[in-house]
Amino acid sequence: MIRTLDDLRARLSDVRSADPSGRAARVALVSTLGALHEGHVDLIREARRHADVVVVSTFVNPLRFRTAEETAAYPRSPEADADLLADLGVDLVFAPTAAEFLPAGTATMRVAAGDLGFRYEGRSRPFYFDGVLTVEAKLFHLVRPDVAVYGERDLQRVFLVRRMIRDLDFSIETVVVPTVRAEDGLPISSRVALLDDADRRAAAKLPRALEAAASNADLGVDACIAAAQSSLMGEQRIALEYLTVVDPATFLPVEEGHRGRALALIAATVGGHRFIDNAEISLR
């Protein structure tokens, strides 16, 4: 369990030079906010398949939130997280305080996500992706991973991190792990456990809306969006934020006549909790 930047650098230096054969240890990074669940377990297991040393960050990034109150309200389970990470054989857990990681209280220099950072997830939180990328870049500099592992549920984040890696010349491979889902189709997340039964049944309609979109993709983008919207019709517990289809090469809305692979994205609030999901579809 590493609490300071200096200790992290020192421990990583040790593990990289520990192999007597002279082969540098391959390092994987899984960056999280803590409050770990089965989705994170899959990321960590995948990281182990790609590296000799697995580093998990559990830093609750305040740059992702609007206010200090929102940051403080984010669920935390440090003891349970530590037990789970030990059981999984994680080599290093980086759990700094905000004062250690961001000693000025914020980051005066930030990575800018650009126009895409203001779309979809960034439309209601225009600060969000700049905060995500800034902390991710700092973790990259500190850990110097060979591979970084992400979940498929956060595809916009994955796209922007990959673009940052390309544009800033990080030498890092990214691995994306399929979304872990509950029996009702909902992606596993810390928010799911907070729903009551009625809200849970309502939220389960979100992945079904994506299934409806995929089933109608052969009729074109308008038909698949209409099918998804129709599947949510009359569900008053769902406040739909966005439902769109994007080109995976640009993450921009598909143009009329687009054929082939595309991504259907959805975000909604249910029972006061916000959910995102996505599905790959094939437009014909």
- The tokens 């209601």 sit on which residue? 124
Q: What is the DSSP string of 113-161?
A: --GGGGSTHHHH-TTHHHHHHHHHHHHHHHH--SEEEEEGGGHHHHHHH
d(CA 39, CA 51): 19
d(CA 158, CA 149): 9
Give me the catalytic one of 40, 50, 141, 258: 40
Q: Alpha-carbon dihedral of residues 35, 39, 42, 48, nearest 10 degrees?
A: -40
Instruction: Dig out the tokens for 121 from the structure.
Output: 């997830």
Q: Report which of 113, 171, 117 is spatially closest to residue 144, judged by C-alpha positions.
A: 171
Residues 6+ positions from 251 with CB-CB distance below 8 Å: 116, 119, 155, 156, 159, 263
How many other CB atoms sit within 10 Å of the CB of residue 51?
21
Residue 23: strand, helix, or coil: coil
40 in catalytic set: yes
Residue 75: strand, helix, or coil: coil
Instruction: Tell me the backbone φ, ψ of residue 73, rounded to 5 degrees.
Output: -80, -10
Helices 5-16 and 128-143, packing angle to 10 deg: 50
- The tokens 């769109």 sit on which residue? 244
Instruction: Dig out the tokens for 259 from the structure.
Output: 């054929």
Q: Which residues are catalytic?
A: 40
